[in-house]
Amino acid sequence: MPMIGARRFGLVKSGVLTAMAALVVALPLQAAEEDPWEGVNRVVYRFNDTLDTYTLKPLAKGYQKVTPDFVEDRIGNFFGNLGDVIVMTNDLLQGKPREAGIDASRILFNTTFGVLGLFDVATHMGLQKNDEDFGQTLGVWGLGNGPYVVLPLLGPSTVRDAAGRVPDAFLQPYPYMDDVPTRNLTRGVGLVDTRAGLLSAEKLITGDEYIFVRNAYLQNREFRTRDGQVEDDF
């Protein structure tokens, strides 16, 4: 190799190695900043995983096995229609009148023509479902994520998203249902239906499950909060 070429190759190689070294150093530092409570979070994660393995996951598998796809879709649509109330409210709080109008129309059409939301007629009408919650609203208002935290029973979150769960809870019908058995049954069916929808996603998990779930959650939340306008740091 000529001297100039060798020198250029050496500079390029050195630059690549330096960049790789910086990346290796930066990743643990970033993880430490995002997840300073990792020790406690891992304990809670194991607790949640054990509880899920022996209770919720078997229920979800049984539910998926005995429930026809048509019925399962109708149940998913019903709870999705309830969730659109949260989406519409946060559209307004984020200053998105167009999206709020779309979600209000979705609620109207799905609740009426869609028989209480059992059929998603709004999507077939071109009214695409949006995805907003109060955690994202706080992000739009400029509040940072805060540390990553694993909540008992509820799973991955951040301090900001955990706080955002409170106002969103009052936009759900459960606090206003006086009949306790009906309320608990509705909550239970919604929880099992949601868990059943996640069964296929488990195949994507590789390596350290805790780190995979944490990184996937944080990246997904950033993508949703910024409406997809994110930069690839790498």
**What is the per-residue pLDDT for 132?**
96
Per-residue pLDDT averaged across 66-91, rounded? 96
Does residue 2 surpass a pLDDT of 90?
Answer: no
Q: CA torsion sign, 190 to 191 to 195 to 198?
A: positive
**What is the per-residue pLDDT for 16?**
37
Mean of pLDDT over the chain = 87
Instruction: Give percent above pLDDT 90 in the chain.
Output: 77
Residues 6+ apart with CB under 8 A from 90: 132, 133, 134, 136, 137, 168
Residues 6+ apart with CB under 8 A from 121: 109, 110, 113, 114
**What is the per-residue pLDDT for 204?**
85
- Note the pLDDT tens digit of each residue in 184-226: 999 999 999 999 999 988 888 888 999 999 999 999 999 999 8
**What is the per-residue pLDDT for 232?**
55
* CA dist., res. 186 & res. 167, Å (int): 20
Per-residue pLDDT averaged across 115-132, rounded? 96
- Note the pLDDT tens digit of each residue in 138-179: 999 999 999 999 999 999 999 999 999 999 999 999 999 999
Instruction: Give percent above pLDDT 70 in the chain.
Output: 84
Closest CA to 75 of 196, 233, 176, 232: 196
- For residue 75, what are the CA distances in angstroms to 63, 217, 230? 12, 25, 33
